[in-house]
Structure 1
Amino acid sequence: MEEYYVCPQCGSEDVEVIKERGREVTLRCNECGYVWIVTLPKLRKIPIIVSKHERSFREFVELPEGEVVKVGDIVETDEDEVRILSIELPGGKRVRKAKVEEIQTLWGESLTYPKVFGVSIYLPGGITQSFKVVVDRDEEFVVGEVIEVGGYTFKVEMIKTEKKLMRSGKAKADKIVRLMGHAIKGRARRKLKIYEGYDALQNT
């Protein structure tokens, strides 16, 4: 885990590590020459269940004792960048925040895996056609735009995010749960790829 240091004397960020001994680190400021020692917090290795849509993988993350971890925080494992979705304490209790030393298991979503969300297209006769699509997490969607999925063209009338149902505005794919709208005739602004599962995505 990379540490960030600031000189306590002059506030400079131009700081050099001149000696390391266990968790004890000796530092020198290259601006004013001040030398000081810091003791790094003890790291605890915690199991984390990383979700890549329908597949989950057990990894580990090292976090400093005394630090408070919250749902929504982003942590890094050796393999991935992960957003915390749930925190489990001994006995199976789930909480929204806890100190590192209290945590038994973390549950999270891979941020390096593409975003998968639902699409509901309303057809004549009260029929709804549903799909799961896969997109880049940074891709934006706007209420009112026209999209093609699975041979159907539809106008986005509502965007359901993790926190609300939007009837106007835009949202990043990373926060979207579902797009909804009626089928229309016309040319789509873009075409979305149907999600066919973890294994299929690895083979593309």
Structure 2
Amino acid sequence: MNCTQCGSESCEILKSKGKKSKELLLQCNECGNIFRETVEVEKPLKVRVVVSEYESSHKTSVDLYPDEVLEFEGMLDLGGRPAQITSIENNRGGRVMVANVSDIDTIWASYVDIPARIGISVDYGGRILSRKVEVDREFEFTIGDVVKMGTEIFKIRAMKTQDRKMRKGFAKAFVIKRVYGRPDKDLRRYNYDLTSKIVEISNGSVDE
């Protein structure tokens, strides 16, 4: 909005009224001119959200304005529960880090009022030891980390996140679906111990 007298874009809203359209009383910060202007208010869009809570997920929606900008790791209020954005798919089917609401097809998110639950798979030459652990959502796993889990000590070889399989780098727990490791008899020292974080024990092959 530009001042009707000097054309400056620096204006302060003194009063605002209306719902479908806003009648604004503005004052120019440059020349002090006070003027009125009416603007149309954009209607919110209903955006699809797939929200996960551990192994289960469900579809919901959230009302957002078209010119809002969402980004990876941003926060949403879903029915009174805080959720963190883990992935954004635009209208062209691509995964992006940031997008205007008007360009978004689907948002993936996970609730932040619970710890992150991650699958751990340790490969013993074809026999897979599988565990589930719960850690702080901001905890970082790095390819090459040496981890203790119960009586096992293994090195992380790969990770599967919401979007891809990783063989180098690191990721925060809230975007990781599964961590893959292999034991090494020569390993004695480890970066961290997940023993107390184990919440589910199962043996067998892993299909993720």
Length-normalised TM-score, structure 2: 0.61
Distance of 2:46 and 2:167 partners within structure 1: 43
Aligned-pair identity (%)? 28
Deviation at 1:86, TM superposition (A): 9.0
Length-normalised TM-score, structure 1: 0.62
For structure 1, list consecutive stretches of 5 or more residues without a partner in the other structure.
1-5, 88-94, 197-204
Deviation at 1:67, TM superposition (A): 6.7
Deviation at 1:111, TM superposition (A): 4.4
SS in 2 for 1:174: helix
> Does the Cα contact within 8 Å between 2:51 and 2:58 map onto a contact in 1?
yes
Deviation at 1:56, TM superposition (A): 4.5
Q: Specify the code of the residue in structure 1 equivalent to 2:8.
A: C
Distance of 2:86 and 2:190 partners within structure 1: 35
Q: Structure 1 residues 152 and 69, CA, compared in 2 at 3 Å: closer, same or farther?
A: same
Is 1:194 aligned to 2:192, yes or no? no
The answer for the alignment partner of 2:44 in structure 1 is 43
The answer for the alignment partner of 2:8 in structure 1 is 10
> Does the Cα contact within 8 Å between 1:50 and 1:82 map onto a contact in 2?
no
Deviation at 1:181, TM superposition (A): 1.7
Q: Structure 1 residues 22 and 157, CA, compared in 2 at 3 Å: closer, same or farther?
A: same
Distance of 2:163 and 2:58 partners within structure 1: 26
Deviation at 1:52, TM superposition (A): 1.0
> Does the Cα contact within 8 Å between 2:154 and 2:181 map onto a contact in 1?
yes
> Does the Cα contact within 8 Å between 2:87 and 2:108 map onto a contact in 1?
yes
- Bigger mean CA deviation after superposition, 77-86 or 131-140: 77-86
Q: Deviations over 1:106-129 (max 9, x none)?
A: 674324243322211123x64221
Q: Deviations over 1:17-70 (max 9, x none)?
A: 512212333152562346433221123556755321234467552234x67999
The answer for the alignment partner of 2:172 in structure 1 is 172
- Asked which structure has the greater CA Rg, the reply is 2
> Does the Cα contact within 8 Å between 2:21 and 2:40 map onto a contact in 1?
yes
> Does the Cα contact within 8 Å between 2:47 and 2:107 map onto a contact in 1?
no
The answer for the alignment partner of 1:31 in structure 2 is 29
> Does the Cα contact within 8 Å between 1:52 and 1:109 map onto a contact in 2?
no
Distance of 2:149 and 2:12 partners within structure 1: 53
Distance of 2:39 and 2:54 partners within structure 1: 41
Q: Specify the code of the residue in structure 1 equivalent to 2:121.
A: S
Deviation at 1:173, TM superposition (A): 2.4
Distance of 2:60 and 2:85 partners within structure 1: 13
> Does the Cα contact within 8 Å between 1:160 and 1:178 map onto a contact in 2?
yes
Distance of 1:195 and 1:106 partners within structure 2: 31
Map 1:142-181 → 2, pairs under 5 A = 142-181=142-181
The answer for the alignment partner of 1:77 in structure 2 is 78
